[in-house]
Amino acid sequence: MSDEEEPDCPECVEGLPAYMGTFADLMSLLMCFFVLLLSFAEMDVIKFKQIAGSLKLAFGVQSEVSAESVPMGTSIIAQEFSPGRPEPTPINEVKQKADDTPENTLEVICQPGESELKVQENSGSPSPVTVVDKSNADLKKEEQIQQTEGDAQMVASVMREEISKGLVEIETQEETITIRIKDKGSFESGSAELNYDFIPVMEMIREVLVGIQGTISVEGHTDNVPIDSRQFRSNWQLSSARAISVAEELFGTGQLDQGRFAVTGYSDTRPLVPNDTSAHRATNRRVEIVIKQNDTSRPLMRSTLDEVPSDGVIEFDRSMVEDLAPNEIF
């Protein structure tokens, strides 16, 4: 029997084995995983130095190198004298210490017309006394301001309903009371005749003015809208005519002394607010009754005229004029 023929080897498949691809992928993923771990890791510097020190001691690493000392220069003064603690030297000098002592102020306010005493007491020294005379004019002014505020509150309480309706306003400033008649319901546009429905308000104002002392100024005001009608050529005429209408209505019953009054028209020269809107223009259209309780010019003038002699010659003390400075003579 012939020798059996050896079987042929199967042909090898070209290329790498199939597992090599999977193995390479796993290695790549592991490498990426460790790179990410390293990038996200936080290094403890203290522990790292401790480990490095232990390794240095274990392996005998020498980091310090001994060196010879550098020669230093010497000084004869430093050799002979050693530094010591300085001792203070007393000086025969006497100084007086002065302290600021706060002052105790005692203020005594006396009755009107008397003196106001202010006593300042200093420790260790006599107490100086300063006497400050409070002028009667200041006291009278304070009393007049209080009287004015009381009169204004009285007017506001009497005309409470008219104020709530927006027909009038009450304003006080020191010794002056202002009763402001607003444009609402008082006059028609371009007219100086009071509306019939507003007459009861004027009667109430008249009754209030009877019990208040002082000079009274009736002042008319308009907005900046020009007017040129057959009756009024300008806002000056319109404001003056409205002020006259209010004054004549107040004089109707004869209860008020006309010598206390003055009538003025200001046109649009004294606005309360800018004339930029219709509401602001309506606010500026008004008639104000200004009561000045500190105005004594009229009584002084009247008393002076009453003292004029019949021959018309007024005698005065020339020394009063001679003592005046040139800029005080007018």
- What are the pLDDT digits (tens) for 187-198? 888 888 999 999
Amino acid, single-letter form, for residue 45: V
Q: pLDDT category, 306, cuts 50, 70, 90?
A: very low
User: Which domains does the chain carry?
Assistant: 104-134 (no CATH), 145-302 (3.30.1330.60)
Q: Yes or no: say if 19 and 13 are a contact pair by the CB < 8 Å rule.
A: no
Q: Three-class SS of residue 240? A: helix
Please determine, for residue 6, whether its predicted confidence score (pLDDT) is greater than 90: no
Question: Burial letters for 226-256: b for 16+ Cβ neighbours within 10 Å, e otherwise?
Answer: ebeeeebebbbbbbbbbbbbbbebbeeeeeb
Rounded Cα–Cα distance for residues 225 and 282 (Å): 11
Q: What is the pLDDT of residue 222?
A: 93
Whole-number percent of the chain with pLDDT over 90: 28
Question: What pLDDT score does 79 carry?
Answer: 60
Q: What is the pLDDT of residue 116?
A: 42
76: helix, coil or strand? helix
pLDDT band at 120 (very low <50, low <70, confident <90, very high): very low
**Average pLDDT over every residue of 110-130:** 45
* Count of C-beta atoms within a 10 Å radius of residue 83: 6
Classify residue 194 by its DSSP letter: B
pLDDT tens digit sequence for 130-181: 444 457 777 888 888 888 888 888 888 898 998 998 899 999 888 899 999 9
Rounded distance between C-alpha atoms, residue 232 and residue 125, angstroms: 78
Higher-confidence position of 3 and 173: 173
Q: Which residues contact 256 (CB under 8 A, 6 or more apart)?
A: 206, 209, 210, 216, 250
**Between the ranges 96-105, 118-127, 225-234, where is the mean pLDDT highest?**
225-234
pTM over 0.85: no
Q: How far apart are CA 186 and CA 166, in angstroms?
A: 11
- Lowest-pLDDT range, 150-154, 237-241, 299-303? 299-303
Q: Residue 218 pLDDT > 50, yes or no?
A: yes
Answer for the pair 219, 271: CB distance below 8 angstroms, yes or no: no
C-beta of residue 158 within 8 angstroms of C-beta of residue 212 = no
Chain position carrying tokens 């900046």? 224
- Range 223-247 average pLDDT: 91
Q: Determine the pLDDT at residue 310.
A: 53
Question: Quick one: average pLDDT of 98-112?
Answer: 51
pLDDT band, residue 8 (cuts 50/70/90) = confident
Closest CA to 132 of 96, 107, 165, 102: 107
Residues near 122 by beta carbon (within 8 Å), at least 6 away in sequence: 101, 103, 128
Give the separation between CA 269 and CA 170, rounded to whole angstroms.
21
Report pLDDT for 277: 92
Kindly report the number of other CB atoms within 10 A of residue 212's CB atom.
17
Residues 38-93 have pLDDT tens digits of 888 777 777 777 787 777 777 665 555 555 555 565 565 566 655 566 666 666 66
Report the C-alpha gap between 147 and 137 in whole angstroms. 15
At residue 240, does pLDDT exceed 80? yes
